[in-house]
Chain A
Amino acid sequence: MDAAAVARRRGLERYRRWAGYALRYAVLLVVGGIVVFPIYMTVVNSLLSSTSIIAWPPELFPFDPQWDNFKKALDEVPLVRYMLNSLIMSGIIVVGQLVTAALAAYAFAFLRFPGRTLLFVLFLSTLMVPWEVSIVPNFQTIQWLGWLDSYQALTVPFLATGLGTFLLRQHFLTIPRELRDAAAIDGYGHIRFLVFVVLPLSRPVLAALAVFGFLQAWNQYLWPLLVTNEDNMRTVQIGLAALRGREVDTFNITMAATVISALPMLIMLVLFQRQLVRGLTAGALKG
């Protein structure tokens, strides 16, 4: 093969590689574009005026962005209050779940006692009862306690987690028992050992559980719908859902409200992406 042929072949290879790259990026862009399209359109719609929102053909870009749609949305809908409610609810649930799950997981991992296996199976069996199965009796309980339209109603039923206890226990089991013996010699009781040794060693799992629990709590729909009626106790999901019946020419305000209420989650996901991935994939994988 002469030099010219080699050079030509190299050029062809480079061209091919370059074309391959371009093709891959093109596919990624198109597919990514389709996935985010509903989000993009929501942002576009939130910026349209009430005349362009009903225009035909639909406008695909906000050439004249109406930023005060967001102000109108905040004026018309008590979104801040809704989001605050969701935040308080999710915060209480996350903290409560971490505390109860850490305590229970500690007992299952570090304490020996009769009936341990049985109790552990009992904890796991809570995973088998879908929440929807118990809504009627639970609603009656909350009603009986006089907790309708309160944070207790939104949070107390969710302050324990079978899955979280299980995952924490699995992690606690990887902590060498010698650590417990050494800590005991240093005069650490169980609670001190749990708080100052075990929990710091479990930070990644706790973070994953926290992010996962927060996401779940924030996204709750059916239960808050049942136990809250007053506007000032509504969570953001329920408050937002109440906008479903609005007229077509106020869709821009509805979409602005949607964008506002989606923001906290979006920010959280950007900040805690790693923990979220870990939380979501918990149980699906061996690490």
Chain B
Amino acid sequence: MNGTDINANQRLLPIAVAGRLLQRLRGINRLGFALLFLAPSLVIFGAFVFYPLVKALYLGFYETDPFGNQGDFVGIDQYRTVMTSEFFRHSLWVTFLFALYTVPPGILLGLALALLANQKLPGISIFRVMFSSTVATSVAVASLMWLTLLNPSVGLLNYFLVEAGQPRIDWLNDLDWALPAVSATTVWLNLGLAFIVILAGLQAIPEELYESARVEGASGWPLFWHVTLPMLSPTLFFVSVVGTILAFQSFGQIHILTRGGPVDATTVIVYSIWEDAFQRFDYGVASVQAVGLFLLVLGLTVVQIRFLERRVFYQ
């Protein structure tokens, strides 16, 4: 150790510190500049996505008095009682059934339509428009259409039943038929969407793959099983994940067609949240269910985002 080295270090130290400080300052500066671009989105997300999520969790810890005001702190108790309640389990079950009745049939039908419309025929575009036409119908439009078709006295569905020698069914007021009827409406409503996405997936399969498979003598079903389906599987996977998320969030068709009835036979989770929050003004119980819905969808969205990261269209 000699004195000059220490002196040199001592002289350099402030410069090194200043340099690092400057770098940090520049970083903060750059962050500040970037935040100008991000601020509009961040403000909206903060106010209407992140804050309400925390608030929902928080509301779940409080009881609500009969006038809709925040009542006593009950902690985790409210979560426990609601999540283990018969009613919550029932609405989860209905939601699950609803997803089961809408997602797999929707994908199968969408796939069938897409395969039909993927033929090279003159005038095929007319059929493509027909198959995708339900995209033009909103949930209210589709629900009113089906409300008429399902009407017990003048609806066409019952007309067909009577013609076939069967007894009439009061579709939307029947304990066994209400959920399937709402599901059928939903499948039809989402059919255009499923068709469009699956058809785009089909068209993205390179023609050479089919050609080389045909050279090897494949055609018909084997061609479908060994070329089309594997190539289409990412699209089908995406459609099923997004479809399930959408099914879990369904509300409009139930609000219009059945009001959750008969006897809660169609009370899916979002309908139950709405009823508790805005008919009974029990924000606490509604919030617990909302947190339940969040957890339910969370896993599925993680899968969806993973998927988005891996394969994204560049225009």
Q: Which residues of A contact B (CB under 8 A)?
A: 21, 24-25, 27-28, 31-32, 35-36, 38-39, 41-42, 45, 53-58, 99-101, 103-104, 106-107, 111-116, 119, 122-124, 126-141, 156-157, 159-162, 165-167, 170-171, 174, 190, 202, 204-205, 208, 215, 218-219, 221-222, 225-226, 236-238, 240-241, 243-244, 248, 251, 254-255, 258, 261-262, 265-266, 269-270, 273, 276-278, 280-287
Contact = CB atoms under 8 A, between A and B. Distances in A.
B313 A285 contact: yes
A35 B301 contact: no
Main SS at interface, chain B: helix
Contacts of B191: 35
Contacts of A133: 52-53, 56, 290-291, 293-294, 297
B196 interface: yes
Interface of A is mostly: helix
Nearest to A266: B136
A276 B135 CA distance: 10
B119 A24 contact: yes
A94 B204 CA distance: 28
Interface in B26-42: 27-28, 30-31, 33-34, 37-38, 40-42
Contact of B45 (A25, A126, A166, A282): A126
A132 B252 contact: no
User: Interface residues of B toward A: which range?
Assistant: 35 or more
A276 B195 CA distance: 13
Contact of A286 (B132, B249, B311): B311
Given A35-B130, A221-B252, 17 more contacts: A28-B124, A38-B146, A57-B159, A103-B38, A112-B30, A132-B249, A134-B49, A134-B290, A135-B290, A137-B59, A137-B287, A244-B144, A273-B129, A278-B313, A284-B313, A285-B235, A286-B312
B297 A128 contact: yes
Contacts of B113: 31, 35
B82 interface: no
Interface string B287-315: 10011011001100110110110011111
Contacts of A127: 301, 304-305
B145 A41 contact: yes
Interface in B105-144: 112-113, 116-117, 119, 121, 124, 127, 129-144
B131 A54 contact: no
Given A205-B315, A284-B197, A262 B41 contact: no
Given A31-B113, A285-B313, A141 B140 contact: no
Contacts of B274: 135, 222
B241 to A, nearest CB: 10
A138 to B, nearest CB: 5
B178 interface: no
B148 interface: yes
